[in-house]
Amino acid sequence: MPSRPARNPATAPVSAVIGVDSSTQSTKAAVVDTATGRLLAVGRAPHTVTGQGGARESDPEQWWQALRTAVAAALAESGLDPAAVTGIAVAGQQHGLVTLDAEGRPLRPALLWNDTRSAPQAAALTAALGGENWLNRTGSVPVASMTASKWQWLRENEPATAAATAAVRLPHDFLTERLTGAAVTDPGDASGTCWYDPATQGYDPELLALTGIRADMLSTVAATGATRAGHLTADAARALGLPAGIPVAAGTGDNMAAAVGLGLGAEGLLDHPVVSLGTSGTVFAATRNRPHSALLAGFAATDGTRLPLGCTLNCTLAVDKVAELLGLDREDAVPGGEAVLLPFLDGERTPDLPAASGLLHGLRHDTTRQQILGAAYEGAVVAVLRALEELPLDAPDAPLRLIGGGAKGTMWVETVRRLSGRAVILPDSGELVALGAAALAAGAATGRDPVALATEWGTGEGRKLPAVPRDTATWDRVTSVLDRAAPALLTTHP
């Protein structure tokens, strides 16, 4: 659903909401017609990510400034009177560790989800309780991405900063607190910390004790559904140019918001898998079934269902880097032939190989640059689809909903079709994370179920591509190389 031209305020809808997607690379603010889900405008502002090797950091204050810039741009493009805005919600990149002093100021740049320096701490946490125990308690085994692992890294490497920390926030609830003054998160994003138990819907006291953090340092976890975190404060309203006092939803993580935007959940589609191709590659589905796999993060959804998710670190950016090295356009690729390329350029999360680097195997004299690039696509897609096989779904043959920047690329789409052997749906709507956040904002403003609202809006509908025969030869070749190489990749240093 592309952005529309600016409208005359006289014809503007009676009410609109703003959904914010604060991702790794940028902030997007979508102005959405509350009644129809029509995307009226999108404002954008970039983020800066710093760090070398395994480090990935951003200044949280930059996220707040980017939110202000993106909202102002969206309002200007929409032509709306700001008084028409009746609610706002933030969806953000998951897992990031934001440490605040007693005045609510960041003590250091946030450690982002794709910062792999905490891999040793993740391994130590896993060993302390055992992977099976972690799965039973949180639905996930600690990896470098998880917030608890990052907190352990901070305690060991920057003890003075850890000791000075009065509060720990996730990226999305840091921004929600700036909007409302209230430290509130939601079950979905909380479930990515490795401190939260989706079964009891609360922080696990033993896990907090194990990691040396107090519950009063963390955001309160809101109830499921269309929950208000609070109302827009006067200071935040002045900063954003919006009416003071409008409802602010509790918001959620970016993957949970995308699920809402697609209409997945108790009031919509259950057990229908989604493959998202972006900076990271993810596969997830809303289900009532309890996941139990070390390849998955056992997340909660925003509405009380579960959202098991597999995530790879290396997806579109890694393949684009291979294209750059080869001097090719990203679409100038063909199937890899005998070549196998595992594009683990930043280490990897699924499979858990945080110190890995890329691996190229099977070169011949007649191997072409285009085949090597095609092999990079295949390696990235196989890594995502292996996690798909672990999802505990009751609809095993449901089509894949393909979203993210990669879903706009022909080679990405055709590689997913060829290696999955499943039908694919390409939703017409863009900015699904922001649209999901907008549905949460509308739910907070109206009291309605956000998933049901998104279903009525039709934001998950799109073009369906039929299944093609599965390329089992390529699948077997890539998985064989991956399985044989994993022990060596585990000890490779970037």
93 inside domain: yes
42 inside domain: yes
Tell me which amino acid residue 270 is: L
Catalytic site residue 254?
yes
40 inside domain: yes
Q: Which of 254, 271, 346, 471 is catalytic?
A: 254
- pLDDT (0 to 100) of residue 443: 95
84 inside domain: yes
Has residue 291 got a pLDDT over 90?
A: no
- Domain of 131 in residue numbering reads as 9-257
Written in H, E and C, the secondary structure of 403-420 is ECHHHHCHHHHHHHHHHH
CATH of the domain at 184: 3.30.420.40
Q: How confident is the model at residue 397 (pLDDT cuts 50, 70, 90)?
A: confident
**94 annotated to bind ligand:** yes
283 inside domain: no
490 inside domain: no
**95 annotated to bind ligand:** yes
pLDDT tens-digit readout, 230-288: 999 999 999 999 999 999 999 999 999 999 999 999 888 999 999 999 888 999 999 99
Average pLDDT of the chain, as a whole number: 92
- pLDDT (0 to 100) of residue 226: 60
Has residue 490 got a pLDDT over 80?
A: no
CA distance 128 to 447: 43
Confidence (pTM) = 0.89
CA distance 218 to 437: 22
Number of folded domains that form the chain: 1
214 inside domain: yes
- Reading across the β-sheet that carries 274-277, which strands appear in turn? 297-300, 306-312, 281-284, 274-277, 400-403, 424-427, 462-465
